[in-house]
Amino acid sequence: MGETQQLKRTLTLFQVFFMGLAWMTPMIFFTSFGILFEASKGMLTAAYMLAFIAIFFTASSYGKMAKAYPVSGSALTYITKAIHPFIGFLVGWAILLDYFFSCIIAVLMFGININAQFPSIPTYVWIILLDAVIMIINIVGIKSSANVSRVFVIMQIIFIVLFCSVVLHHFLGNETLNAHSLRNPFTMHSNVTFSNILIGASIVCFSFLGFDSITTMAEETINPKKNIPRAIMMIIIVAAVLYFITAYLIELSYPNFTFKNPDSAGFELVKTVGGNLLSSIFIFILIFAIFTQGVSSMTTVSRLLFVMGRNSLLSKKAFGYVHPKFKTPVFNIILVSILSLSSIFISLDTCIKFVNFGALVAFMFVNISVIAHYFVKEKKRTLKECVSYLISPFIGAGFIFYLLTLLDKWSLILGSAWLLIGLIYLAVITKKKQVYELKRSEVLDKKVKVE
């Protein structure tokens, strides 16, 4: 297992695009509808718009750093190279929360939804089954993952278009609703303040997570300097259009919609809109959507672990290993599969808290890394370059930092505890390296004396 090899460069622009959309999962709008609806006090469209603004600046920064460093590693690589290895490690450690728990969320939601349809079979059976299938697909190769992702992402988009068509038909056929016509998404509920919408936006950012994941596949992408930035912008624009239209049509057509359970609110919404037929189609598509997200999430986290292993932040022998036949980091994939089984015991709410903290920390520092690399080190300071490499990432970093402060206290406590564990781990491996270097130096000195 000690052999470290190169990843295989096979992914095209559209394969990377679909991998990112699969990780993001457009159907996440429905699976997280109840949680996001409550967080935004019903002002979903406005919250999505504010979240998109923050994400747009950050996505632009990811694209710029992907051009500067077209290698796997995402935020870990960018911050290590542009700012400092110590900060890079901590941010990489933080984003592991995002990637690890995204895998857990995928298999957990799969188990919950299938169990709802087949209650006689325990949830953990479905979780174990999906986990095993995802592991095998990832081991066989990333191109197979991309091909699977494309089909299921298209299925999700078709369903969302169908759902919106039914909602629009309801709106146009209802004279009472038509009397209100189109309304400002920021003033639909007069009792909701702008600060409430901002708090909602900090949680709604969860729906956009995934565009950053494709930067971990740079070494497997053809012409990554060009294709990774393009794919990033394509992903967030397509997702934003889908989210905006769906949320706005729901707020116009069902202004008084309520639900019994936040976890199943999306299903309740679909059933209200389209009855049993649409809800059956919803469950069918959702199963494949969650499956695809699981495949993409495992691909992403296994690549990040590979980079950390290759850089000796983790065991190079294990984490930096690439299978000679499949050209995939098999050890990492198996490890992530084992850790994903913790979804049998953990709650969805806890998973989302970990994901949001890790992602927002990484987003903030990637914006800062653009300033450090281009404006400070490369001294790109013309008027146009100042806008691109100073003002834009500064706005992105500031917006993300503000959203980070709006997370609930448990998100901040759990995230901070994880960073503390990372600091302790870093101190241990640093001390071991120092001891090794000292012993190596002593051995060399003895050899020189003997000679």
Q: What's the rounded Cα separation, in Å, for the pair 431 and 426?
A: 9
For 356-391, the pLDDT digits (tens) are 788 889 899 999 999 999 999 999 999 999 999 999
Q: What are phi and psi of 254, to 5 degrees?
A: -130, 65
Task: Return the pLDDT at 434.
Answer: 59
For 168-212, the pLDDT digits (tens) are 888 887 766 555 566 667 666 667 778 888 888 887 887 887 788
| Higher pLDDT pick, 288 / 437 | 288
Task: Return the pLDDT at 166.
Answer: 92
Q: What's the rounded Cα separation, in Å, for the pair 45 and 51?
A: 10
Q: Is 329 left (phi over 0), alpha (psi -120 to 50) or beta?
A: beta
Task: Return the pLDDT at 300.
Answer: 78
pLDDT for residue 441 is more than 60: no
Q: Which has the minimum average pLDDT: 108-112, 113-117, 264-268? A: 113-117
Average pLDDT on 428-445 reads 59
Task: Return the pLDDT at 178.
Answer: 58
Q: 3-state SS string over the chain?
A: CCCCCCCCCCECHHHHHHHHHHHHCCCHHHHCHHHHHHHCCCCHHHHHHHHHHHHHHHHHHHHHHHHHCCCCCCHHHHHHHHCCHHHHHHHHHHHHHHHHHHHHHHHHHHHHHHHHHCCCCCHHHHHHHHHHHHHHHHHHCHHHHHHHHHHHHHHHHHHHHHHHHHHHHHHHCCHHHHHHCCCCCCCCCCCCCHHHHHHHHHHHHHHHCCHHHHHHHHHHECCHHHHHHHHHHHHHHHHHHHHHHHHHHHHHHCCCCCCCCHHHHHHHHHHHHHHHHHHHHHHHHHHHHHHHHHHHHHHHHHHHHHHHHHCCCCCHHHHCCCCCCCCCCHHHHHHHHHHHHHHHCCCHHHHHHHHHHHHHHHHHHHHHHHHHHHHHHCCCCCHHHHHHHHHHHHHHHHHHHHHHHCCCHHHHHHHHHHHHHHHHHHHHHHHHHHHHHHHHHHHHHHHHHHC
Task: Return the pLDDT at 145.
Answer: 60
Task: Return the pLDDT at 390.
Answer: 95
Query: What pTM value is reported for the model?
Result: 0.79
| Closest-CA residue to 7 (of 303, 297, 304) | 303
First to last CA, the chain: 37
Q: Which has the minimum average pLDDT: 4-8, 190-194, 446-450? A: 446-450
pLDDT band at 234 (very low <50, low <70, confident <90, very high): very high
| Higher pLDDT pick, 313 / 436 | 313
For 237-292, the pLDDT digits (tens) are 999 999 999 999 998 888 888 888 777 788 889 989 988 889 889 888 888 888 87
Residue type present at position 159:
F
pLDDT for residue 139 is more than 50: yes
Task: Return the pLDDT at 8.
Answer: 67
Task: Return the pLDDT at 4.
Answer: 46
pLDDT band at 445 (very low <50, low <70, confident <90, very high): very low
pLDDT for residue 162 is more than 90: yes
Task: Return the pLDDT at 389.
Answer: 95
- CATH number of the domain located at residue range(s) 13-407 in this protein: 1.20.1740.10
Task: Return the pLDDT at 444.
Answer: 46
pLDDT for residue 1 is more than 70: no
> Domain boundaries in the chain?
13-407
CA 361 to chain centroid, in Å, comes to: 12
* Percentage of the chain exceeding pLDDT 90: 22
Q: Which residues contact 298 (CB under 8 A, 6 or more apart)?
A: 103, 134, 135, 138, 333, 336, 337, 340
Average pLDDT, the chain: 82
Say if residues 33 and 354 touch (Cβ distance below 8 Å).
no
For 304-322, the pLDDT digits (tens) are 888 888 877 888 888 888 8
